[in-house]
Each structure stands twice: as structure tokens, then as C-alpha cells.
Amino acid sequence: MMGDAVEVDVQALREDILRHCIYPTHIDAVQKSGQEVSFTPEQWNGLETIDRDQIRSWTRRFEPWAYSTVLRHLDTVRDEHEQSGKAVAPEELLFAMNAAYMESAENPQPGMLRIPLVTARDMLANSDAAVFRLLPEGAKQLSPLDAMQGRGGLWYQQYREFAIRREDASGLDRWANRIVEAAVKPAPERDTEKSNAREER
């Protein structure tokens, strides 16, 4: 995480966006025949596909002052956010964001960090942290052997929700760094000389 975080009311933000959306007054278009035509937004939205196929290009037109109004409002919102922003530790933000994910689990454990199945398997296989299965009776710790898919179809049992302890969040960081490194690591260069030699044989 870089910079400060700001807690906002998502619904209020949605309503603010809707209130400050700008819409075109009309649409100027050029047909394939070269004829220039103009549509109201309602006419444009009501065009059939066959009619749109006859249009070569089009431009949405707005009131001259529409953009400046929105930009001024965005500046105001940005200033408000900068004033209300506060520095948040990465772990604190992780716990806050993970809370909703944990609450949606069938058998939630509020004091833990919920992780996806694939993450659980990979963290077990690499001993990144102790991994638990979320069961009705509580959280049950799994062993590294449980990461093997062939072991009694473990990953396909009824309860497929997993978590780690909050104090093991550093293990989640190791897993994430490993995944990112694997994703950006360049593919191994192919030995073209050996490949060509095999093809010649």
C-alpha cells in the first residue's frame, strides 16, 4: 500500500457520481454516404443495428461548461479526502478489508484471515503459515500433507473455506511475493542451437 487511506461511504459516493454525471446534448454523425446527421440522445439510443451500420463516425457533444463543472467538483472532493485521510498500516488495512470476506463464509472465524482454496493449498505446500479449515465446530488446522490433492479428495469435501491466524499475515506476504515473482519472471530462453540440431536429426 502506498500513501494514505480514506474511509468513505460507498453509497454516498455512488449517489454523488450519479448527481455529477454529464450527458451529451446531441450526437453528430457522418454516414457512410458522407451525409452529416444529428441525433438526440434518445434517438441515438433507439437506433437499430442496421441503422448504426450505416454510420461511419460519430461525436458526442456536451455543453461547453459541463467539463469545468465536473472538474471543479472533483477538486473539491479531492481536497476533502486529503483533509480526512490518515496513514494506515498495511496490516490494519488488510484486516479491515478481509473482515467482509470472512463474514461471508459459511462458518466465519472473525479473529482470523480468510484465504481462498488455491492460496491455502499453496501456503500449505510451502509451509508459509498454519492453515485452517473453517468448520461448524470451529477452525481445524491442516497438515502439509493435506496440500496433496490426491489425499482422499480433501479439497473437494463439503467445507472448502480456509483461514490463517492474524499473526501469520507475514506468511501471506511471502505467498503473494512468490506469486508476483513467478508472474513477472521472464520465461527461460530456449537453446535454439540444440533445438535445431534435434530437428535436423
| 37-66 residue pLDDT tens | 999 999 999 999 999 999 999 999 999 888
Percent of the chain with pLDDT over 70: 84
- Asked if residue 119 and residue 157 are part of one domain, the reply reads yes
- Asked if residue 121 and residue 75 are part of one domain, the reply reads no
- Asked if residue 118 and residue 147 are part of one domain, the reply reads yes
Task: Classify residue 2: in a domain, yes or no.
Answer: no
Cell triple for 195: 533445438
- Asked if residue 113 and residue 76 are part of one domain, the reply reads no
Q: Cell 511475493 sits at which residue? A: 177
Q: Is the pLDDT of residue 186 over 80?
A: no
Q: What is the pLDDT of residue 129?
A: 95
d(CA 118, CA 7): 30
Q: What is the mean pLDDT of residues 114-137?
A: 93
- Asked if residue 113 and residue 37 are part of one domain, the reply reads no
- Asked if residue 101 and residue 68 are part of one domain, the reply reads no
Structural domain of 131: 90-181
Those residues whose C-beta lies under 8 Å from the C-beta of residue 149, and which sit 6 or more positions away, are 121, 155
d(CA 20, CA 74): 10
The predicted model scores a pTM of 0.54
- Asked if residue 165 and residue 106 are part of one domain, the reply reads yes
| Domain tally, the chain | 2
